[in-house]
Amino acid sequence: MGGPAPEDTSAEPPTPEHTECSELSWSPVRGESPTEPVPWTVAMKRAIRCGRRLRKLLQLPPDPAADAAESFPTFVPLELLERIRPGDPNDPILRQVLPSADELRQRPGYTSDPVGDLQSDAGGGILHKYHGRALIVTNGACAVHCRYCFRREFPYSEKAAQGDRWSTALDYVRSDRTIEEVLLSGGDPLTLTDRVLADLVSKLEGVEHVRRLRVHTRLPIVIPQRITTELVRRLSDSPLRVWFVVHVNHAREIDAAVEQSLGKLIGAGIPVLNQAVLLAGVNDDATQMEALCRKLINVGVQPYYLHHLDQVRGASHFWVAAQRGRAIVESLRERLPGYAVPEYVFEQAGAKSKTPIA
């Protein structure tokens, strides 16, 4: 979930005043450089929180039928807004973030917890699905609200390991010596400030059997200035092997600022992988996916997974048949070196790993 980041903790989930769709929102005029460099916390605070406002800024007609979809709030930072083509309702970045009346359709098989997060809940913010690794749901704040998000109905207020609950999550990790790798997720762990994140990392470094730390984040893409010198220095100095997993679905999401953001991590010896989701109207053809994979490897990011859509309630309009997905991946194998082709997978509740789609 999205909201402003206070000075010393993390970005808070939106309150009613944050999520109200109001014409009083900050309103940049294109061409006036609304994305001049600002601290990432300021970027969070000035993000667009209103679908009607988003349409107006992008010179799109109103869509009253979509307003009810704002039960899952809009949250789009200006840094990402600048990569969306004005006047184009089919822009592949816009499609990922703009509320749609299609979200209100009830479709069989689409649920609130399609990947079984709740059945793998070990308490204290820990999700323990797979052998050797455990995931900490750090908080519920995100820097962008993706309309296909598989955690759009996740009960963060009950399940995230925030504040005093760090201790419960850490006790769980300490108690299970099979856990060699800890994943930080959310929400987005980089909506924690550098100080708070460093404190959590220090505690994980004190667990003898933990060897690796994986950070799953969209911040380097949607608000590139979040990758601060202090953050990179702290993580590169860690005795843990640190990996970043980012989320990019379309080549146009990677601009010069994003390249610089990713370059800071890679230049410090932190490997960066990408997870994409196969989405109708965004990247569901071989040419678009090839462009994405090429751009990723050209900036030093390895395509990791291509996820079949998680069947979360409200996202059925993004569905792409597995047969089409297989054809896209087969075409990528013909066009790209092997290391540039992501593994096409889906996540099944209760399974012991991601399931490859052959």
Binding site as annotated, residues for [4Fe-4S] cluster? 142, 146, 149
How many Å apart are CA 227 and CA 266, to the nearest integer? 11
- The candidate with the shortest Cα–Cα distance to 292, out of 272, 310, 306, 309, is 306
Ordered DSSP codes for 306-335: EEPPP-BTT-GGG---HHHHHHHHHHHHHH
User: CA 141, CA 4: separation in Å to the nearest integer?
Assistant: 9
Conformation bin of residue 58: beta by default, left when phi > 0, alpha when psi is -120 to 50? alpha
Q: Residues at the annotated binding site?
A: 142, 146, 149
DSSP 262-293: HHHHHHTT--EEEEEE--TTTT-SHHHHHHHH
The C-alpha atoms of residue 335 and residue 294 are separated, in whole angstroms, by 10
Whether 51 contacts 22, CB under 8 Å: no
Q: How is residue 243 written in tokens? A: 């990996």
Asked if residues 204 and 182 have their Cβ atoms less than 8 Å apart, the reply is: yes
State the alpha helices, DSSP H only, in 160-285.
166-175, 194-205, 219-222, 229-236, 256-267
Element (H, E) at 216: strand 212-216
CA distance 326 to 338: 15
| 191 close to 143: Cβ distance less than 8 angstroms | yes
